[in-house]
A = this chain, B = another copy of it.
Amino acid sequence: MMNKEIINLQSKINADLNDIYSSGPASLVETFNYVMSGKGKRIRPLLTLLTSKSLFGEYTKSYNAALAIEILHNFTLVHDDIMDNDVLRHGKITVHEKWDTPTAILIGDAMLAKSINILTEAKYNQNLIKSFNRALLAVCEGQALDKEFENKKYVTENEYFDMIEKKTSHLIAMPIEIGSLSYNSPSIDSKNLFNFGLAIGKAFQIQDDFLEIMSTPKIMKKSLNSDILLGKKTYPIILCNKIDKNFTEKILKNKNTEQIILIIRKFMLKNKLDVEIEKKIDKFYKQAFNYIKKINFVNEDLLNFVNKLKKRRN
């Protein structure tokens, strides 16, 4: 699948998301459409559709589920933005900032409700519904762990991997799994695709954490400040802490976040942590592709898309 085809698919998804919730209370419809008109890359529904396409040459059966998944993802963003006190998302003012916290809580709840309503209305099979619901609970638990870690001085690598598996990977693995479950694939294939997704989800998250420290804010298009100042345990912090248990305490004595980032970068380069991180990312990608090497795909669309995501540098 060419880049142009991805762009066409994104446009189709955007157009359909724009029409999906129009007959509800005016306040919900307005905020729903505000959120869904954000400039997200629609990675999760694309993963669902491209999985179906690579397995079965088409995606008609998984299309409604793909839309539900994107709405679910956006529900998590709206609530996370309240919890993390973020002001911008995809270049737009967040809901709780533009309106208020009650509005943001309620539209998040309604988006979640709408997403599972889409699934039941489309009469999907029980395995698909189960996969969706399991990811939902995992995401909540991952977010809880992420918040717990903010107040922990020291977090092990395994605790971190468990947290990002729940918080990030499930929302990558489930969309891929559902691309196969909506066509009633053999369960061994669905399971392998799910595990493929868990591994690439971890690679993505580590890559994101790494870029957050190594890029300038302009490239990353995101404030670098909030995560570090909140005490978030990102992968570079985990590794720095492994070498020096008092690392986070030390850097947080500094109040200038740009200086903090420079200190982290210097410490990482000195201890070759950049090399270690790149190796870890490769390890997870290798693990991921191992899971699916026995699957007979009819085309390379899914793999090409994942490789494209792998190469992104912002």
Q: Which residues of A contact B (CB under 8 A)?
A: 24-28, 79, 82-83, 101-103, 105-106, 108-110, 112-114, 116-117, 120-121, 123, 126, 129-130, 133-134, 136-137, 139-141, 143-145, 147-148
Contacts and interface: CB of A to CB of B under 8 A. Distances in A.
A20 to B, nearest CB: 13
A103 B117 CA distance: 26
A147 B27 contact: yes
B140 A106 contact: yes
B82 A141 contact: no
B126 A113 contact: no
Contacts of A140: 28, 106, 109-110, 113
Contacts of A79: 105-106, 109
Contact of A110 (B101, B120, B141): B141
8 contacts: A25-B148, A27-B148, A106-B144, A109-B112, A112-B112, A116-B136, A117-B137, A126-B126
B129 A102 contact: no
Contact of A136 (B113, B129, B143): B113
Nearest to A21: B137
A79 B101 CA distance: 11
Contact of A117 (B26, B102, B105, B134): B134
B101 A113 contact: no
A143 B26 contact: no
A109 B116 CA distance: 14
Given A25-B141, A25-B148, A110-B141, A105 B133 contact: no
A30 to B, nearest CB: 10
A217 B148 CA distance: 39
Nearest to A148: B27
A117 B132 CA distance: 9
B28 A102 contact: no
Contacts of A114: 137
Q: Lowest 5 CB-CB distances: which A-B pairs, in order? A: A83-B102, A110-B140, A25-B144, A113-B137, A113-B136
Given A25-B145, A79-B109, A106-B147, 16 more contacts: A24-B141, A25-B144, A25-B148, A27-B147, A79-B105, A102-B147, A106-B140, A108-B109, A109-B112, A110-B137, A110-B144, A113-B140, A117-B137, A120-B130, A120-B133, A121-B130
